[in-house]
Structure 1
């Protein structure tokens, strides 16, 4: 071990518990008894396609964002490591969603975790929960964890929470590899036309997008993350609900329905519906939306008091819909039935029409949303 590194805050002895657990996790996910889209993964992390049809591979890189900071804050407030139980889902599902957007079904992930201190990797209670979270996320997504990297970056990663400083934190990011077989199943945002229908699948909380305005405004709540909502759960619990996998749902929809486009409501929130590659412009008219849960009702009212408008809210958060599917009108009933069979709550939200590239929320008195760059 380098004494110079240890003296500078990068002690590999402290980081070894995490590295051992993650190597064990990678080995176990390569042996999981499920069909990895007919991909055979070897012990050294290489893979071969065992199917009998042409295929394409698709790769993506994503980060989890600031959500891990809420887990660190709740850990400090309660001394309960269970608040890290969603970290694996929140990291890998952001990658999964961008794979699914093109119709690529995940079969492998690569993980990066950069911590603010070497000691972060030596907290066994924390890292055991996180490692198990990644195991469950791999199982849900039906993909293996191939490898990863976990540096201590004490001079680069500096956690900052205005309402409750945390001593250490980590940045989670990952890359995913998916398969499209046959290649004709790739979803290219083609075929969208006037009369195409919009179907949404319910989200589970805010997933990961929108953490920054929540962190910024948290000091306005006297109890911070421990603020209790009408359902008797605190804000911190709601914010740390794991991001769900939609892989099985998308796989079934692609096989059984005609899908023009798949749009995860990340980044620009509900406004992301209007981001498409069509050669002409469309308006996405929303007639229905899920009834707000206790979490969404509180979040919207609280942030409104902090100056966040209805337009800003929908351009930041998924607001109850995690992903939308653009389908021909004749496919609506079939898609809803597929969702029920798979165990996801799907809703017919509205339709597409010719017009400026925007989203119109009729259930919000006609509020208009524009995707970033418009």
Structure 2
């Protein structure tokens, strides 16, 4: 590595040696995510993983990819970079768990205007924590220094996760029927969508109000372990991750054609931050529920007979879950009354 330095490339704004330093600094965080299936080390050209398929008749891989979006702007303003990686992991693993798949590995992509090794390591620290919470191994990634494309102090962060599930255990909403019950798993806050609207509402206040920024930067909650516990003990019929599009876009994705979710507005345990946003921006109720999770980060659909058991399992897993609504015959998707 001692000969790997280009003065010409450095003069253009790309420091190769900073990339090597970043890898060394992040390695201690990556090591915390290593699981039995990891066959590769950080720094190779590809991440190697051997999944455990014992007991599976037809193992199916399930993948998901996402980024953090404009929530990153708040991280830049606050110069706080050690939690935003949790969001990147959460947005991916929370999606693939909706199929009943257990996340097995994750890879990240960081593009920046200038590679500050300590900052990159802080970002990966958060990614590592997200992987630890979801049981996924961080088996690789990429840091791209792109001067002139991004400002020096800004970056973008995205990634993808891969999970595995036995084909016969895939949750595909096909068994959902009229009368089934919708269970809510509370969110930790805004999670990672709707921040363009939030920035429009609060504007310059975001620059001066550190408490508000910290509240908005609360990482996306990762639901992998409680959901895995639930599907191991209950016949879960459908799951939806409540992200961009809120209730109106995401809940119908867990419902077959001809069925809708009937939810009482008063039954939604909204977090105070959403009332604050609604008031500050003079946002309609419909637009709030069509943009934000409103305090519900994920929903699971079970038969009426298994509601009590489901709530108890989720409680044991640390979730303050509750009955949100029911499935009815309708083509409206979501009926919020």
CA drift of 1:109 comes to 0.4
CA contact (8 A) 1:141 1:247 kept: yes
Q: Name the structure 1 match of 2:280.
A: 302
State whether residues 86 and 243 of structure 1, in contact with CA within 8 Å, keep that contact through their aligned partners in structure 2: no
Write out per-residue CA displacement over residues 113-148 of structure 1, whole angstroms, 9 at most, x where no aligned residue. 111x124x33x2x34433322222221111110000
- Equivalent position of 2:179 in the other structure: 195
Q: Mean alpha-carbon deviation: is it higher for 343-352 or for 9-18?
A: 9-18
Structure 1 spans left out of the alignment, 5+ residues: 32-38, 76-82, 159-166, 229-233, 363-374
Alpha-carbon RMSD across the aligned residues, in angstroms, is: 2.0
3-state DSSP class of the match of 2:110?
A: strand
Contact 2:238 2:255 in 1 (8 A): no
- Larger mean CA deviation between 128-137 and 350-359 belongs to 128-137
Q: Distance in 2 between matches of 1:342 and 1:19?
A: 35
Q: Is the 8 A contact 2:110 2:144 kept in 1?
A: yes
Offset of residue 179 of structure 1:
1.3
- In the alignment, which residue of structure 1 is the partner of 2:141? 148
Aligned residue for 1:134? 127
Partner of 2:69, secondary structure, is coil
Separation in 2, partners of 1:289, 1:5: 59
Matches within 5 A, 1:226-305: 226-227=208-209, 234-271=211-248, 272-276=250-254, 278=256, 280-287=257-264, 288-304=266-282
Q: Say yes or no: does 1:177 pair with 2:152.
A: no
Contact 1:59/1:177, CA 8 A, preserved across alignment: yes
Cα distance in 1 for partners of 2:270, 2:172 equals 32
- CA pair 255-169 structure 1, distance change in 2 beyond 3 A: same
Give me the whole-angstrom Cα distance separating, in 2, the residues matched to 1:46 and 1:335: 33
Q: Which residue of 2 aligns with 1:78?
A: none
SS of 1:217's equivalent in the other structure is helix
SS at match of 1:42: coil
Secondary structure at the counterpart of residue 5 of structure 1: helix
Q: C-alpha separation between the residues in 1 aligned to 2:329 and 2:335?
A: 12
Q: CA deviation at 1:339?
A: 0.9
Distance 1:251 1:178 in 2: 12
For the residue of structure 2 that corresponds to 1:343, the secondary structure is coil
2:320 match: 345
3-state SS in 2 of match to 1:360: strand
Higher mean displacement: 199-208 or 8-17: 8-17
CA–CA distance in structure 2, aligned partners of residues 94 and 213 of structure 1 = 19
Secondary structure in 1 matching 2:172: coil
**Which residue of structure 2 lines up, in the alignment, with residue 84 of structure 1?**
81
1:112 is paired with a residue of what secondary structure?
strand
Q: How many residues matched?
A: 324
Name the counterpart of 2:91.
94
Counterpart position of 2:8: 4
| Cα pair distance change 1:225/1:285, threshold 3 Å | farther
- Distance in structure 2 (CA, Å) of the matches to 1:50 and 1:185: 13
Matched, 1:15 2:19: yes
Give the distance between the partners of 1:291 and 1:135, measured in 2 at CA: 30
Give unmatched runs, 5+ long, in structure 2: 42-47
- Indicate if the aligned counterparts of 1:225 and 1:235 stay in contact, CA closer than 8 A: no
Inter-partner Cα distance in structure 2 for 1:50 and 1:283 = 36
Contact 2:189 2:271 in 1 (8 A): no
Cα distance between partner residues in 1 of 2:209 and 2:103: 37
**Secondary structure of 2:131's match?**
helix
Deviation at 1:276, TM superposition (A): 4.3
Name the CA shift for 1:273/1:48 in 2 (closer, same or farther; >3 Å).
Answer: closer
- Is 1:210 aligned to 2:194, yes or no? yes
Can you list the C-alpha shifts for 1:210-242, whole angstroms capped at 9, x where unaligned? 1111122332x5x335448xxxxx210111111
CA distance in 1, matches of 2:254, 2:226: 22
Q: 2-side partners of 1:157 and 1:329: how far apart?
A: 52
Once residues 335 and 52 of structure 1 are traced to their aligned partners in structure 2, the CA distance between those partners, rounded to angstroms, is 25
Contact 1:283 1:355 in 2 (8 A): yes
- Once residues 269 and 255 of structure 2 are traced to their aligned partners in structure 1, the CA distance between those partners, rounded to angstroms, is 30
Name the CA shift for 1:345/1:105 in 2 (closer, same or farther; >3 Å).
Answer: same
